Chains A and B, each alone.
Chain A
Amino acid sequence: MNPVPGIYRILPEAILTLTGVAIMLVDASLPPNLSRRYLGFLAAIGTTIALWASVGQLAFPQGTGFFGTVETSAFTVFFHVLICGIVLVALLLSLDTLPEHSHHQGEYYALIVFGAVGMCLLTSAVELLVVFIALEISSISTYILAGYRKQTGRGPEAAIKYFLLGSFATAFLLYGIALIFGATGTTEIYQIAQLAPIAQNQPLVLAAMALMLVGILFKVSAAPFHVWTPDVYEGAPTPVAALLSTAPKAAAFALLLRVVYEIFPHLRSLWAPLLWVVAVLSMTVGNLAALRQQNVKRMLAYSAIAHAGYLLAAFAGIGSIGIAAAAFYTAAYAAMNVGVFAVITLIAGYDEQLSLIDDFRGLIYRSPILGSLLIFFLISLIGIPFTGGFFGKFYSFSAAVDGGAIALAIIGLLNSGLAAAYYLRLALVAAERPSAEQAAPPKPHVGPAVIAAISLAVLTTLVLGIVPGAVLHAAQSAAHTLQVPPQPSEAPGAPLQSPQ
């Protein structure tokens, strides 16, 4: 068997890194008064190539590269494609909605691409050192992006809250990594998986698992670690909120899947009840808080917390059933959430003149297409059939029932009913006749990039809702590869080969 050169194992990450560096270099060499908007196209092209390269990685046999630190498998490809897709939508959305001469536009696009590098690397890392570095690459880029509107009061406030709580969470994850290193003497995930069940110091393994779970649950904004979410989404520019609410979460869920199903499968009797409680808390807290929000972005932030809860319900599923359901839900959630944030960006504008639910009154009469799109995504978030949200919830709750957590599935269904109340409230307000005294907001500028971004989100949501088979199949093969450790494809210490 020919060993696959290591560079092919990180091809999407390498392409994204080169794109980011190219953007920064071009940005620095352009004269200061020139528009940086076209750098966004460069970023979008780079992300598309990375997406294509991730799909191409399926041709290789599953295995690790760079001395067993990164892996390519159906699992990593699934999440790479998902993350690159989200980043592409966010980039296209920013292209048309960022003001023409906003400051540091080149850095904005470069940071999104660098963030994507971290998120992609996080899903393919099988060495905890690389996991830590990838998490920090993605986090540090997104901390800056959250505070992009630094002249307003809310931008830096969102950034500082995201930064402090994110670093706090990272410290917990890092302490967990230190303890698992202490218990097993290695930081390679596959070796840990073999050594952790037979480690002499089991309390150390338990403490490591608990600390790592705390760190990751912070990142996926599950209750009770969710307090930063609404503030960050409200203060960040809406295209960035679209990115933050989906891509880093998808990467963090991939890491959570790796940690619980690959490192600690033998401790299932401990982590399954823990995630049960967190799932119920996230759903209930998220939905109850969302009910009383007046600000649309805050409402969607609490809805994102609730969706993290529905997704965690899939972790009650045993083995590959749970993994496949969680991966599918991540894709469905990402498509509809990035879509709803894209529509809200267009309606509210970059400087958010419309931020309250009441401001959306009569939307469907003013701009019928945007109004219908908003209602479409809200329907998908409720989980009505023929949208991705329905099958996401369906697979997640059936995985829970399959794993014996029937109560969890029932609580999830009740919560979905509760959630319908606030989604429908927004949908009904949008469908109401506008009152006469209400000032008409400016028409949104809709360019081809935004149309492409929203079409991508709509298409994905529809495909996931009408013909979920293909994506479900991909999720199942992803689940299968996560369960089976790869054959060692290259001897440790083998010299690195060039791609030629």
Chain B
Amino acid sequence: MSFMQHDVPLTWYLLLSAVLFSLGVVGFLIKRNLITVFMSIELMLNAVNLSFVAFAYQWHAVKGQIFVFFVMMVAAAEAAVGLAIIIAVFRTRATLAVDRIDLMKL
């Protein structure tokens, strides 16, 4: 008997994943520091990973778990580039506040 079907139902995992994803979206929209905004995106990606693992367990499909590895790898590449861009922003502007990165406006 698998513990997932009897102790913790699949729905709970999906619910937790949805909550984490929504937290990431909210953080992305309301946070005012570049690093925190970037962390919110990472939270969204990891929420998706949780969904993938839960579904992979449900379908007994290893594909979902493989997907998670690729997502982690891509997230690492994205973090490398993203942090480099954040450093470039800080060097030219000496700030990480989203509201002050506003050279270009309507």
Chain A contacts to B: CB under 8 angstroms = 129, 132-133, 136, 140, 143-144, 147, 150-161, 163-164, 167-168, 171, 174-175, 177-179, 181-182, 185-187, 230-231, 234-235, 289, 298
Contact = CB atoms under 8 A, between A and B. Distances in A.
B85 A156 contact: yes
Please give me the 4 A-B residue pairs with the lowest Cβ-Cβ distance, nearest first. A182-B55, A171-B44, A185-B59, A156-B88
Contacts, number: 122
Contact of A160 (B24, B52, B74, B85): B85
B104 A154 contact: yes
B70 interface: yes
B89 A171 contact: no
B61 interface: yes
B26 interface: no
A282 to B, nearest CB: 17
B70 A157 contact: no
Most buried by B among A129, A178, A185: A178
Given A175-B21, A175-B44, A178-B52, A132 B103 contact: no
A231 B104 contact: yes
B97 interface: no
Interface in B33-63: 34, 37-38, 41, 44-45, 47-48, 51-52, 54-55, 58-59, 61, 63
Nearest to B40: A168
Contacts of A132: 67, 70-71, 74
A164 B89 contact: no
Contacts of A153: 92-93, 103
What does DSSP make chain A's interface, helix, strand, loop or mixed?
A: helix
Given A167-B82, A178-B51, A185 B92 contact: no
A361 to B, nearest CB: 23
Interface of B: 14, 21, 24, 28, 34, 37-38, 41, 44-45, 47-48, 51-52, 54-55, 58-59, 61, 63-64, 66-67, 70-71, 74, 77-78, 81-82, 84-86, 88-89, 91-93, 101, 103-104, 106
Most buried by B among A129, A155, A163, A234: A163
B66 A167 contact: no
Contact of B48 (A144, A150, A156, A175): A175
Given A136-B77, A153-B92, A153-B103, A175 B86 contact: no
A462 to B, nearest CB: 34
Contacts of B74: 132-133, 136
Contacts of A160: 34, 85-86, 89, 101
B94 to A, nearest CB: 11
A155 B89 CA distance: 9
16 contacts: A132-B74, A136-B77, A143-B82, A147-B85, A153-B92, A154-B103, A156-B89, A164-B41, A167-B41, A168-B28, A175-B48, A178-B52, A178-B55, A181-B59, A181-B63, A182-B14
Given A132-B70, A136-B74, A136-B78, A171 B61 contact: no
A171 B41 contact: yes
Contact of A167 (B63, B64, B78, B103): B78
B67 A187 contact: yes
B51 A175 contact: yes
A221 to B, nearest CB: 15
Contacts of A157: 89, 93, 101, 103-104
A266 B61 CA distance: 25
Given A136-B78, A179-B51, A181-B67, 7 more contacts: A133-B70, A136-B77, A159-B88, A164-B34, A168-B41, A171-B48, A187-B63
B48 A235 contact: no
A186 B63 contact: yes
Contacts of A133: 70, 74
B58 A182 contact: yes
Contacts of A235: 103-104
Contacts of A298: 104
A185 B56 CA distance: 8
Contacts of B37: 164
B98 to A, nearest CB: 9
Nearest to B44: A171
B78 to A, nearest CB: 6
Contacts of B77: 136, 140
B88 A129 contact: no
A341 B14 CA distance: 46
Nearest to A146: B85
A151 B35 CA distance: 21
A257 to B, nearest CB: 23
Contacts of A163: 81-82, 85
Contacts of B88: 147, 150, 155-156, 159
Contact of B81 (A143, A175, A187, A231): A143
